[in-house]
Structure 1
């Protein structure tokens, strides 16, 4: 009986951190309903204050569901002609991705992580998506869904977002015990099995700087954030100097229509920022088939009456808007400084604990001409790092990362609003990717090399210190000989001293000493 009472109820303590698959399923449902509510509440509010009674609450709910699906990149059709609609509002996409990442991060922080947890979360999210697809698939829906492509688009966004959230929390599906457990990311033997050679190991050392990919990824992300700031600046100037306000005032015949136009402009605002960034980078964007809006020239046809499209520059060649191309120079400074400083290795001495100290307690180390410590503590640390060639390789790698990221964002910001001329809207992905990589390489390469040179210069001795060390080293024999000469000269008695000694001897004895001098 004592043994039975002393036995623990659970054999493994990490089992306390597990949750049932039903709880994870409900978490996915709740996450989907939160994002759907963010769309449905404004749409239903506009339906309530709208003066027209033709549409019912079911129609408003279908519009909300269609917008929610469109925010996940799901393709829709509109009208009896089934014109395609693929312009995804990136604001809704960002909200959905953030909430899914947070849910995946909560799963990844558990003490025990199983592969069914993120799978159940995505399944719950897809249940709500299936209901939205079923609601928009009826013939009377203004925006009709396509079941298989729509569910596939929602599944891709949910899987990527949840996977990123789980990974950022340090967990991996299928690993019991999370990070550091047996078989986990921190376990022994998680490196290369058997020491299999990689293709990168055959490259020279300057072509594969250590730890360059994480730094290049952060630099590429910094460039994308800078490009977003550039796009926001260009868009703000276009709003101040453009016709967006008058266009919105003309379209808003009543409060409901005016608020609906503001809502549509708000959810498409990130798309407009990406379009403006593409304009500043040079390739520009299209507003229909056969059109282009770029700093070097704008060629447009009839543009739909929409406030954001009213900001597009009129037809013509280069004008003052060409100044927008100078903004990417400012966007490339921060990632270039990041790469330049990362290319310098930290200076750490091997035996810094036993350095002698001065009267103020500060380390006091004397280095010889050959870079050796005078007290025998090792060589002087050198700021080697990646080297100039390695820094250039890291810049090119960051340019590729930034180009791929910009191309993906440009592809997501574009789409179609119908058949015919409205089949092409937004920036061309490959042109934006190539322009981003070129801008990054041109701007960041010289700035990164200059930042690395300055960091190494600040860590090495100045020319005055080097000149002083050379002078002390070269004049050491002369100074030693002079010191010995002065020491010997100080031992020789002067004639005055000898005379005084003779006088003292005469005063004592009364007569001079015959042995004295």
Structure 2
């Protein structure tokens, strides 16, 4: 975009590393300013007793570091009167703000970078953000522990890099372009089997993403239903606080910050792995053991002793897996099922094997994501018995892996009832396994294209020689469809000599009519197709070689034709019957009629 600033003609382009540093400096100032303004509004309404502006700024720094995942020392943030505990319960709803700001910065840096240069400003920006976090912690903390400074410098980078890479990918639409790797060149060196395996793996990853999104949506619905059912209890907790308008506003904002945590808690509860709200407490599907809870309004939504009805929540993870299995079938990349169907001819055995394999892979990926979500959503308040809040990450991941995997396998198998089974057609398209030397050459790019072209030409030559030496009776050339108007079809009998260009074909055995001479253009077309191809430059991926396709078409399988005038019926179950063959027959008959009229 053209700049109309009077200084634009004298300005110097900013280096990428400097632009990354400036972007992250602005991002840090905006996120910290939002936290400081919220606390300042509470402080101006006398929300904090005996707190000056300097103490308010230090409290803002501690809360800003907390939303980045840095543990909060209560005594350093709230004064010596506060408990000497360590708060690790992160409000993930507030952590979304710096991630979105980093997402914006990542998009801007991606626009300013060439291919392969994206991580130059990202590295400079991450280093700048790390230094700012360490400096802010040193300002707000009375104790300058080196380990605490290191944690304050490194922990925020997880949120920062997530936002930056997300923004860069959103703008570039390719991780390979961000790194500077030519994906098309790498894929072109792989064999077709490796490409199928890669397509299957990428489809499994996307199916796992579908399962995670559906699982999160189900957890949000469970949380909403629990809040609606226990609304009276939540209102009573609000009234018992007596915090006033300002206090109620602060409590509400804090609860909004913990909504993502509560959604993940609902997800863990739906799997049956249970929750903890303090030492010695457990919240399960059927029974709950809950002691004294903090006066936090959203705690009133915790389900208690639902009995057998609570097991109905298992439909959330199982349903998420079912949707993933249905999506995977519609994606059409189930190459593992095709391979199993070729190895195990009994479909009743091959289908469960492939479905269970898919469920295991999706379950592992979803369980890994659940472990990360459970670890982020759990923590400690650092005061009293509330040192364990949230799900147990390992238990949550194990239960999720089993339930989502079972749902995926069931969804993949049940959805096939509404789709026609094409496994019987796989043997028609199954190619012979290539030699090891050819696969190695294709992987490293040593004459891979030449090997494939030579093999294609050799097969065409062999097919042409066999058909020239042993002609089949009552046949019609499939390449007659691609010839000009002078091309005609031959119908030699079993007793006649082989038909060659310019040679008479004799009389047909069925009708006794004179068959026209074979045009020499068809033989020339076949000879050109069999000729040795000249050296061609290496082609890019997805560039179609139409010359090889035409050469293969000229020597395709000769389609059998049944003469209707002789009273013979066509073979409907012939393996080479196709719409193209039917069109050849129709055009062939029209050509014959026109020839006899002349």
Q: Which TM-score tier does this pair reach, normalised by the shorter chain?
A: 0.5 to 0.7
Q: TM-score, normalised by structure 2?
A: 0.59
Post-superposition shift, 1:114? 5.8
Name the residue aligned to 1:397. 361
Segments ≥4 residues shifted beyond 6 Å: 458-461, 476-480
- Residue-by-residue CA offset, 1:275-306 (whole Å, 9 max, x unaligned): 11111121121011221101131111211111
Change (3 A) 1:434 1:482: closer
Residues 1:299 and 2:303 aligned together: no
Q: How far, CA to CA, are the matches of 2:129 and 2:153 in structure 1?
A: 10
- Residue-by-residue CA offset, 1:321-352 (whole Å, 9 max, x unaligned): 44323333433332121112224679xxxxxx
Change (3 A) 1:52 1:270: closer
Match of 2:299 among 306, 309, 315: 309
Name the residue aligned to 2:221. 233
| 8 Å CA contact 1:108, 1:166 repeated in 2 | yes
Name the residue aligned to 1:41. 37
- Residue-by-residue CA offset, 1:419-444 (whole Å, 9 max, x unaligned): 56322110010111111111111111
Q: TM-score, normalised by structure 1?
A: 0.67
Question: SS of the counterpart of 1:35?
Answer: helix
Q: How far, CA to CA, are the matches of 1:400 and 1:240 in structure 2?
A: 34
- Residue-by-residue CA offset, 1:167-186 (whole Å, 9 max, x unaligned): 5544999x9xx56xxx9322
Name the residue aligned to 1:272. 262
Taking the TM superposition and a 5 Å limit, the aligned residue runs for 1:502-517 are none
Q: How far, CA to CA, are the matches of 1:240 and 1:450 in structure 2?
A: 34
Post-superposition shift, 1:157? 2.8
Q: How far, CA to CA, are the matches of 1:17 and 1:191 in structure 2?
A: 36
Question: Greater shift after overlay, 403-412 or 324-333?
Answer: 324-333
Name the residue aligned to 2:533. none
Q: How far, CA to CA, are the matches of 1:332 and 1:17 in structure 2?
A: 50
Structure 2 residue runs of 5 or longer lacking an equivalent are 1-11, 336-349, 426-561, 570-598
- Give the number of the structure with larger relative contact order, counting CA–CA contacts within 8 Å between residues 6 or more apart: 1
Question: SS of the counterpart of 2:86?
Answer: strand
Structure 1 residue runs of 5 or longer lacking an equivalent are 1-15, 347-385, 462-475, 484-517
Post-superposition shift, 1:478? 11
Taking the TM superposition and a 5 Å limit, the aligned residue runs for 1:87-486 are 87-112=89-114, 113=117, 115-138=119-142, 146-167=148-169, 169-170=171-172, 184-186=180-182, 190=186, 209-242=197-230, 243-314=233-304, 316=305, 318=307, 320-343=309-332, 389-418=353-382, 421-457=385-421, 481=567
Post-superposition shift, 1:190? 4.0
Question: SS of the counterpart of 2:283?
Answer: strand
- Would you say how many aligned residue pairs link Structure 1 and Structure 2? 395
Change (3 A) 1:456 1:63: farther
| 8 Å CA contact 2:379, 2:389 repeated in 1 | yes
